[in-house]
Amino acid sequence: MSHPSQLPNAFLIQLRALEAAYLQSDDPRQQSGFGGGAERWRAEREPILEAIRADGDLLDVGCANGFLAESLVKWGLERGIVLRPYGVDRSRRLVELARQRRPSMAANFYVGEVWEWEPPRRFRYVYALHDCVPLEYLGAYVRRLVSRVVAPGGRLIVGAYGSRSRKIVPLDVAGCLRSAGLKVTGQSQGGAPSVTSFAWVDASYQDMPTAPGTETDRNAGDVACSHHSGSEMGRAGGRTTWREDRTGVGWRRHMRVLGGRRR
């Protein structure tokens, strides 16, 4: 897949609806798209830190109200790791909440469309959910983040969330990244039973962006992902070819928030 100039309009419309759903609550976790309590929040999100072994700047892509970045900073300190939080989100209203949470670091939170955002600098650690873009865009998206947002020698961490209440397991992030030709250097899971999945890619292993229109560039986003058993998605022979479903699993999962059924 070549790198389109923007995401599909239908996808962007649903993201705007998601923003409205997040802003309906004053609870910081619900403003981050999470419906559980503090204990589950930590159990299902802290494994992101398994990818982080030293101090550094951490950018949360699709940061919403900044609560996840704030939590990771706190949990990191308990491990003796000092992280400086940054975030970017397409929602100006959610970014404003993030700035209000950390007034001394308000300048660290940016408004931007993650598919096309040009960062003012690079970051040692970058965290991004797989469903910030339609799944068929994932390979191209990851390559773009690694080549333009992650600092040389840094690390991109990609996450996926399932739902314990609806018994939906998370996407096999590591398998998706490998199917896109990316070298996965580690992975972790969170929750009991497992309901979050994380995998990471080191910038030092990746090439610079392929010139638009080349064969490698066209294939970069073609992702055929295996999905854990128990997913609500239909499977064929244990594999789902996500390009056949232009709406993407993330689109439908996000929209359940609108009915008050958060993950």
The highest-level CATH class for domain 9-259 is: alpha beta
Q: What is d(CA 73, CA 46) in angstroms, rounded to the nearest whole number?
A: 10
Give the pLDDT confidence score for residue 167 in this predicted structure. Answer: 87
Amino acid at 14: Q
* CA dihedral sign, ordered 123, 125, 128, 130: positive
Rounded distance between C-alpha atoms, residue 191 and residue 78, angstroms? 19
The pTM for the full model equals 0.81
Q: How far apart are CA 71 and CA 207, in angstroms?
A: 32
Q: Cα(first)–Cα(last) distance of the chain, in Å? A: 31
Residue type at 5 in one-letter notation: S
Token couple for 5: 């100039």
Per-residue confidence (pLDDT) for residue 7, from 0 to 100: 85
Return per-residue pLDDT of the chain as tens, 263 residues. Answer: 555 667 888 888 888 888 888 899 999 999 998 988 999 999 999 999 999 999 999 999 999 999 999 999 999 999 999 999 999 999 999 999 999 999 999 999 999 998 889 999 999 999 999 999 998 899 999 999 999 999 999 999 999 999 888 889 999 999 999 999 999 999 999 998 999 999 999 997 444 444 333 333 434 445 556 444 334 433 223 332 223 233 333 433 443 333 333 45
Element (DSSP H or E) covering residue 146: helix 138-148
Q: What angle do CA 166, 33, 161 make, to 5 degrees?
A: 50
Cα–Cα distances (Å) from 67 to 112, 125, 153, in that order, read 18, 17, 26
**Residue that has been written with the tokens 């408004």 in this structure:** 111
Integer Cα distance of 45 and 221 in angstroms? 26
11 vs 68: CA distance, rounded Å? 23
User: How far is residue 82's CA from residue 124's CA, in Å, rounded to a whole number?
Assistant: 12
Torsions phi, psi for 163 (to 5 deg)? -145, 120
